[in-house]
Amino acid sequence: MTFTLETEVATVLRPLVGVLALQGDVREHAHALDASGADFLAVRRESELSEVDGLVIPGGESTTISRLLDTFELLDPLRKRIADGLPTYGSCAGMILLASTVLDGRPDQNQLGGLDITVRRNAFGRQVDSFEEDLDVTGVTGGPLRAVFIRAPWVESASAEVEVLARVPDVPSAAAAAGRIVAVRQGATLATAFHPELTGDTRVHRLFVEMVRAAA
């Protein structure tokens, strides 16, 4: 292909964003990315990872995704691309995988890096403890965002290099979760403990697509 100025502009305006398609809610993220102005590629191989301008690591089961990364020989290539500055967004299990330290995880679980945070796996409880809450998220305009938490982690601690974007509001219904960190950003890496792909509200995905454009 011969690249022209028009080709480069089109790539920046509508970047190619991959979704790690080993396990989890891939289709929902693909729809949200399309609505946010990005093209989508399912990533299962190193060759596909090398093509994308940014990557979403979806919710699912973090230990399962960790094992599959090893099986599909994606673990080291993905770690390298993240370390080299690939814009990456992780939701729920994706946040766990991007964290530097995980509490209540398996001892053999693989971490990808990207976020200097400590997360607690399944911090909000089991599947039956799933809930929704309105959150104010830094960088997301237009009022509070409805957040869906499903067997979600929360951030126990974050270094000074990490920007905290959202916390669970201190309301009676929040109970022990009140004030817990549930959205963060560090450089080109974004993560949420909740699932914005499930609500039809694309504002978090639009924020991420803008991060990808800026990096391009």
Q: Which residues are catalytic?
A: 92, 195, 197
What's the token pair of residue 193? 């403990």
What b/e sequence results for 51-71 when a residue is b if at least 16 CB atoms lie within 10 Å of its CB, and e otherwise? ebbbbbbbbbebbebbbbbee
What's the token pair of residue 94? 């994706």
How far is the C-alpha of 114 from the C-alpha of 97, rounded, in Å?
A: 9
What's the token pair of residue 192? 């949420």
Residue type for 102, please?
Answer: V
How far is the C-alpha of 77 from the C-alpha of 151, rounded, in Å?
A: 28
Strand, coil or helix: what is 51?
A: coil
Place of tokens 């690939």: 86
What's the token pair of residue 61? 């089961």
